[in-house]
């Protein structure tokens, strides 16, 4: 049985993430969705808590009938001590064979830690970008079509866009 790690912050989990997840599932028996920067929230870059992000991903996994093949796990970042990040992954996650990420620093750290790393083909990167989605949310422009339906529903039900807008003017993000 093979297992892949799909690592990201998922702020929020969008349709590009879902395509990537399906693509990895076409290559691996199981996928760990590693939700990074677990301890952070309430900033423009990391607006959602780990619990909120897990809930959104969980709702997508259920709707997409991926239960039993996807393990969602949070991982804290190491406060800038990059040399401990891969070892933190190893301790916090079930075992995996291959890590999937396009982030240059993550790739380098994983490789130095002896882990096999694969790139993920981008699915409409201009369209599906968490940064861009957060900007649309702030501007009051449509963003709902860029995320899976249960994610849009969750964000609207909790009025989480208000959080983004309210913290926009803060000095300590």
88 binds a copy of itself (CB under 8 A): yes
Residue among 41, 42, 39, 10 at smallest CA distance from 166: 42
129 binds a copy of itself (CB under 8 A): no
121 binds a copy of itself (CB under 8 A): no
Helix (H) or strand (E) holding 7: strand 3-8
Q: Which of 81, 121, 141, 142 binds a copy of itself (CB under 8 A)?
A: 81
Q: Which is nearer to a copy of itself, 145 or 159 (CB)?
A: 159
The runs of H, that is alpha helices, within 49-148 are 50-63, 85-92, 104-112, 130-139
Q: Which is nearer to a copy of itself, 121 or 142 (CB)?
A: 121
Q: Which stretch binds a copy of itself (CB under 8 A): 15-23, 81-89, 119-127, 140-148?
A: 81-89
- 88 alpha-carbon distance from chain centroid: 17
132 binds a copy of itself (CB under 8 A): no
- 154 alpha-carbon distance from chain centroid: 16
CB of 158 to a copy of itself, least distance (A): 9
Q: Which is nearer to a copy of itself, 113 or 142 (CB)?
A: 113
Q: Which of 19, 23, 25, 42 binds a copy of itself (CB under 8 A)?
A: 42
Q: Is 42 helix (H, G, I), strand (E, B) or coil?
A: coil
CB of 54 to a copy of itself, least distance (A): 5
Q: Which is nearer to a copy of itself, 91 or 145 (CB)?
A: 91
Contact positions vs a copy of itself (CB under 8 A): 38-43, 49-52, 54-55, 58, 62, 67-68, 71-74, 76-77, 79-84, 86-88, 90-95, 103-109, 112, 114, 163, 166-173
């Amino acid at each position: 049985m093979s297992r892949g790690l799909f690592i990201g912050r998922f702020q929020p989990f969008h349709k590009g993430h879902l395509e990537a997840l399906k693509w990895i599932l076409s290559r691996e028996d199981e996928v760990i969705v590693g939700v990074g920067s677990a301890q952070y929230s309430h900033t423009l870059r990391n607006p959602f808590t780990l619990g909120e992000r897990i809930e959104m991903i969980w709702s997508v996994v259920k709707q997409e009938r991926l239960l039993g093949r996807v393990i969602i796990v949070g991982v804290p970042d190491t406060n800038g001590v990059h040399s401990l990040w891969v070892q933190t992954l190893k301790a916090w996650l079930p075992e995996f064979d291959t890590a999937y990420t396009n982030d240059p620093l993550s790739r380098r750290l994983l490789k130095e830690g002896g882990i096999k790393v694969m790139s993920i083909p981008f699915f409409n990167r201009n369209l599906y970008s968490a940064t861009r989605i957060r900007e649309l949310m702030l501007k009051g422009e449509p963003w709902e079509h860029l995320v899976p339906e249960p994610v849009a529903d969750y964000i609207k039900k909790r009025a989480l866009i208000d959080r983004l807008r309210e913290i926009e003017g803060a000095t300590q993000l």
